[in-house]
Structure 1
Amino acid sequence: MIRFANTVIRRLLLAACALALALSLPLQAQAGSRIKDIADFEGIRDNMLVGYGLVVGLDGTGDSLTNAPFTRQSLQAMLERFGVNIRDAGTFRTQNLAAVMVTAVLPPFARHGGRIDVTVSTMGDAKSLQGGTLLVTPLLGADGEVYSVAQGAVAISGFKAQGAAAQVTRGTPTS
């Protein structure tokens, strides 16, 4: 009976060691492929967003209102929403603002109030967005619904420098 008990105990210890070894191995070593590698959730995807807005505070590098009439119209509409009527003001010139398209990708499981990165690109003849601030811009999905709002300082990834004899451009100062 004692010999039988010792054999059972040895087998239980051996089984416990084998189980502990199996549990300590990474899951990838146990399975040939992971579920996330071979399965997709139907209807779960990124959402492309787009909006139209104005960037203000440019140091003379914005749109010229004669070459970009949509910038002038946008400025007039924005100021009228704030109660400022400039339609009778005749001609006015400012090169401190630019009309821009704003694009973003909304991840499928984004939470309410979360932050996303947006890309701001000029539409008119602005030379640079450096130092600009994007005014509140609603971002629409493909269904026309507003999914997000963009606003804030614009960070550019390029620069343009010129002198009397040469000019250098790195990156895209208009995006």
Structure 2
Amino acid sequence: MSYKLLCRAVAKSNHFNSKRLFSRTTAAMVKVGDKLPSVDLFEDSPANKINTGDLVNGKKVIIFGVPGAFTPGCSKTHLPGYISTSDQLKSQQGVDEIVCVSVNDPFVMSAWGKEHGANGKVRLLADPAGAFTKALDVTIDLPPLGGVRSKRYSLVVENGSVTELNVEPDGTGLSCSLANNIGKK
């Protein structure tokens, strides 16, 4: 089975290998057709709240989640892929904004964005307590990174509703959630 098909299967079901370190909550994983949860995230500092409901209202937005800022896969592949294709995604697919979310503090996310030249291309939003990540039910327990983090995923939201969802089969891989897979379904 291809990575893409496997990602689709994982996104459509909520059944995971119990030997993996996936966090289970009472919520069901977000699905295509669901309304995006309305949660406050932070941009640049704790004083700058960005509500996800307001962020996606009347827009087409790509949101991708990463396990952590400054981590190797996130810094070498995931974030740079969205930065380098941001103009194409916006012009060819009608995307209004591209947003990266991680369970980190806003200062770390801001520094990471500056290091990669994300300004004007990808917004980096912090989910310090993991509230948004938990609301989507895409948490993963990664003790070496500090505990509960986000699985690696991408989703497209159009006017508040999820229209595309790609969750990495193992939660941390680099396949279906990459920028070059957006809109390929």
TM-score by length of 2: 0.21
Larger gyration radius, structure 1 or structure 2: 1
TM-score by length of 1: 0.22
Point out the structure with the larger helix share. Answer: 2
Point out the structure with the larger strand share. Answer: 1
Between the two structures, name the one with larger relative contact order (CA 8 Å, sep ≥ 6): 2
